[in-house]
Structure 1
Amino acid sequence: MLEGDLVELVPLTPDHLPDLRRIRRTPEVLARWGEPEDDGNDDDVTCFTILLDGAVRGMVQYGEEDDPGYRHASIDIYVDPDVHGRGVGRDAVRTLARHLVDDRGHHRLVIDPAADNAAAIRCYAAVGFRPVGVMRQYERDNDGNGWHDGLLMDLLATELR
């Protein structure tokens, strides 16, 4: 378990899946993440359930590049719209970033929101992530009919707020 100022990050378990699927199907999260396809058992990422006052409020995950010449970690997150604007996402990202820097030894982290996701970009910037560049037509639209740009942001360990 990782403790933040507001949230606890606990390893995702099957008991969390009904709440996480409900959150994934809210219009706000569905628009960014699409229909839930799996149960968080991807070997390439480590998933944590975001708990706020003991209730499931989202999911945050990380992946690691372990090649010594390119070592870094990436973060993805979604948060229940019922708690948007309360600092839950910011605290979850900061808590996971601290774990990745302090416990996992990463010197650099990346995150890649859709370029038009202003709320997510503000959240990540508050933690210390900086825009690096726009990745054109980076991600398929959820309807499968087009592509949209992503914003690559990174954070060096010394910049973590």
Structure 2
Amino acid sequence: MELRGNEVVLRPVAEGDTAILDRIVREPEVAAWWSPPDDYEGALAVVHDGEVIGLVQYAEENDPEFRRAGIDIFLTARRHGRGLGADTVRTLARWLVTERGHHRLTIDPAAANSAAIRCYGKVGFRPVGVLRAYWRNHRTGVWEDGLLMDLLADELT
């Protein structure tokens, strides 16, 4: 599978990507929100101008009564603020809606991650509510709030 956005290409993580992604997830700006994953199985590498710049992944709920998909993403700090995050999320969201048939998508950034929240808003995600003590900060051990955001298929920008 390879998905093409306006600026990014999303493709399965290859063996050679692991060291790059391990470096990115340890950057202070990324590590503030992400703990290093055990593996990158099932995730997609985010590629821009031939360079792996991050990772995006999705999870699907396939129960017909609750069918939806969730998205998670991180990009190297060197590429923050250039619209590449929004392009990545939009590209994956379009695929989840058109090819996988989801009518609703969710994303759940840390409530304090204002840059991520702005990025997801550009794609059409809307705040639904605060998830109190939602995620454990791996650096401090403190439980922190998350912001649940969702997007209905017909709201995708």
TM-score between the two structures when normalised by the length of structure 2? 0.97
Matches within 5 A, 1:109-120: 109-120=105-116
Matched letter for residue 38 of structure 1: D
C-alpha distance in 2, partners of 1:79/1:40?
14
Q: Deviations over 1:15-38 (max 9, x none)?
A: 11111011011001111102x242
| TM superposition outliers: structure 1 runs of 4+ over 2 Å | none
Q: How many residues align?
A: 156
Q: What 5-or-longer segments of structure 2 have no aligned partner?
A: none
Listed as ranges, the matches of 1:81-120 within 5 Å are 81-120=77-116
> What is the match of residue 3 of structure 1?
4
Residue equivalent to 1:141: 137
Partner residue in 2 for 1:80: 76
Query: 2:150 is paired with a residue of what secondary structure?
Result: strand
Q: Which amino acid aligns with 1:83?
A: R
Q: Which moved more, 1:85-94 or 1:138-147?
A: 138-147
Quick one: distance in 2 between partners of 1:120 and 1:95? 16
Task: Give the % identical residues.
Answer: 56
Q: Aligned partners of 2:92, 2:7: CA distance in 1, in Å?
A: 13
Q: Tell me what 1:128 maps to.
A: 124
Q: Distance in 1 between matches of 2:147 and 2:96?
A: 21
How far apart are 1:148 and its partner, in Å? 0.5
Over aligned residue pairs, what C-alpha RMSD do you find?
0.9
Cα distance between partner residues in 2 of 1:145 and 1:10: 33
